């Protein structure tokens, strides 16, 4: 039972972020109750029991949920579900796990990275640079450990946080020392009343609490960001990164010129050939500039950043080289769950491509990739239960479109369509839940199927 002075924290959802918030709340003296609508994973249930934290699963007991001073909710829970409507109506404070963690971060510093695409790669690359430079840093948020868990179990000086729009929706004080906005393209619009303006505003919340001593690093080439910069005020110092030096809005930031990446911070410039970057493609040049500027702001030496750019290994399921089989290269880009991600993947393809598309379509507009498909794709292999939208979009553009309903069939069909020197690219543009547990499962099954050839 809570004491009269003890505040009560209710955590909705017992995934990684919920468990992290519960552990931190317990450590900081809250009376904690975790409520999970579904089933709690065995490992998570064990952590709650070992931590002496009260919990329920298989539904919400409203009497217990509404007896809260603060509710931390999982990013996946919409405000439109009944339990959230009741909490909001009762006037109870709701915050995200990153907001709850922020209140206990002490004097540590935060680099927070958001965007529709590339945030996992940029977060991992930024963390890699910090670790290579000997900084006391942790990679948290949407990637790996939750922010709150890291603070509870192993606090550090620097937190490199991958932040989603869902997490930003429920912040109040969360304030990164360095905020990065990579790009904006339509995604998750079902959560934002199918209004892109709501989604953009959510992304811009990353900078709303920043002060004059903080930095906001933004992509100068992104039209949505450019159009909305003047609508979303920030006190932070803005630094831009761009493919075109003429787009630089200030003396400092990053740009590409004659295949050289230039980073300027604090009046000091460093350069590096884009051919020396370990991760390829124009999108990864953007990601590298954002990570490099963040590292320079943190005081990391130019030489360390250069070394880190050459030694970095990319993410699994993000343009991941799998194998070359009899001259046919196989690339796993299963993490590409929207059309914009596929655009970036195709843009980096140098060989004729057999593209594996499909899954749970989120209302995709395939016109975004039409020109690249015409230019680079010789055949499409559909991998999903309902492939009609893909056929409709590309039937007059690509001569061969084949339907499959498993990773093995898709790989075999693609291999049969490929000639020596071609690339088979799994970049689905869709969610994976029609045939797979998640995009990781889809990517691993694809890799297993390639190795079985």
Superfamily of domain 105-311: Mur-like, catalytic domain (3.40.1190.10)
Q: What is the mean pLDDT of residues 60-86?
A: 94
Q: How confident is the model at residue 70 (pLDDT cuts 50, 70, 90)?
A: very high
Residue 193 pLDDT grade (very low, low, confident, very high; cuts 50, 70, 90): low
Q: List the domain boundaries for the chain.
A: 8-95, 105-311, 320-451
Q: Is the pLDDT of residue 384 over 60?
A: yes
pLDDT greater at residue 452 or residue 363: 452
pLDDT mean over 92-100:
97
Provide mean pLDDT across the span 316-323.
88
Residue 174: predicted pLDDT: 98
* pLDDT of 351 above 80: yes
Question: pLDDT band at residue 406, thresholds of 50, 70 and 90?
Answer: very high
Confidence (pLDDT) at 68: 97
pLDDT over 80 at 394, yes or no? yes
Q: Residue 117 contacts by C-beta under 8 Å, 6 or more apart in sequence? A: 182, 183, 185, 283, 338, 340, 341, 344
Strand-by-strand arrangement of the 70-73 sheet = 54-57, 31-36, 8-12, 70-73, 93-95
> Is pLDDT at 131 greater than 60 in this prediction?
yes
Give residue 248's pLDDT. Answer: 81
Each residue of 205-252: pLDDT tens digit?
999 999 999 999 999 999 889 888 877 779 999 999 999 888 887 789
Specify the CATH number for 8-95; select among 1.10.10.10, 3.10.450.710, 3.30.70.20, 3.40.50.720.
3.40.50.720
pLDDT at 3 over 60: no
Q: Supply the CATH classification number for the domain 320-451.
A: 3.90.190.20
User: In this predicted structure, what is the pLDDT of residue 189?
Assistant: 58
Q: Are 111 and 176 in contact (CB under 8 A)?
A: yes
Residue 187: its pLDDT value, please?
56
Average pLDDT over residues 176-190: 81
Quote the percentage of the chain above a pLDDT of 90: 77
pLDDT of 186 reads 60
For the residues 80-90, what does the mean pLDDT come to? 95
- Tokens matching residue 68: 């809260």
Question: What distance in Å separates the CA atoms of residue 337 and residue 358, rounded to the nearest whole number?
Answer: 9
Res. 412: pLDDT tops 70: yes
Residue 194 pLDDT more than 80? no
Q: Where is average pLDDT lowest: 123-127, 233-237, 359-363?
A: 359-363
Mean pLDDT of the chain, nearest integer:
92
């Amino acid at each position: 039972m809570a004491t009269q002075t003890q505040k009560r924290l209710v955590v909705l959802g017992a995934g990684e972020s919920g468990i992290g918030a519960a552990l931190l709340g317990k450590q900081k003296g809250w009376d904690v109750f975790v409520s999970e609508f579904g089933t709690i994973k065995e490992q998570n249930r064990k952590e709650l029991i070992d931590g002496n934290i009260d919990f329920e699963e298989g539904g919400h007991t409203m009497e217990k949920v509404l007896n809260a001073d603060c509710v931390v909710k999982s990013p996946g829970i919409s405000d439109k579900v009944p339990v959230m409507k009741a909490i909001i109506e009762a006037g109870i404070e709701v915050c995200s796990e990153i907001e709850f963690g922020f209140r206990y971060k002490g004097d540590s510093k935060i680099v927070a990275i958001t965007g529709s695409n590339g945030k996992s790669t940029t977060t991992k690359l930024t963390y890699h640079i910090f670790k290579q430079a000997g900084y006391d840093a942790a990679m948290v948020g949407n990637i790996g450990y939750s922010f709150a868990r890291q603070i509870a179990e192993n606090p550090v000086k620097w937190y490199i946080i991958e932040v989603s729009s869902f997490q930003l929706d429920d912040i109040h004080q969360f304030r990164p020392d360095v905020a990065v906005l990579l790009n904006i393209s339509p995604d998750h619009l079902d959560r934002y009343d199918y209004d892109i303006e709501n989604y953009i505003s959510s992304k811009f919340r990353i900078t709303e609490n920043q002060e004059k001593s903080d930095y906001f690093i933004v992509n100068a080439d992104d039209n949505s960001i450019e159009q909305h910069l003047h609508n979303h005020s920030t006190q932070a110092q803005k630094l831009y990164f761009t493919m075109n030096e003429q787009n630089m809005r200030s003396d400092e930031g990053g740009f590409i010129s004659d295949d050289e990446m230039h980073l300027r911070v604090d009046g000091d410039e460093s350069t590096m050939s884009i051919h020396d970057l370990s991760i390829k493609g124009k999108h990864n040049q953007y990601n590298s500039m954002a990570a490099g500027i963040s590292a320079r702001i943190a005081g990391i030496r130019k030489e360390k950043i250069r070394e880190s750019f050459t030694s970095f290994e990319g993410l699994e399921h993000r343009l991941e080289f799998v194998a070359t089989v009899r001259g046919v290269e196989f690339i796993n880009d299963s993490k590409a769950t929207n059309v914009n991600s596929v655009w970036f993947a195709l843009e980096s393809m140098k060989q004729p491509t057999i593209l594996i598309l499909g899954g749970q379509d989120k209302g995709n507009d395939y016109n975004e990739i039409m020109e690249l498909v015409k230019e680079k794709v010789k055949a499409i292999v559909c991998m999903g239960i309902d492939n009609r939208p893909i056929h409709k979009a590309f039937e007059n553009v690509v001569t061969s479109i084949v339907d499959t309903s498993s990773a093995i069939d898709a790989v075999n069909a693609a291999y049969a369509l490929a000639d020596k020197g071609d690339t088979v690219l799994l970049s689905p543009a869709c969610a994976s839940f029609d045939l797979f547990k998640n995009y990781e499962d889809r990517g691993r099954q694809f890799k297993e199927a390639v190795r079985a050839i």
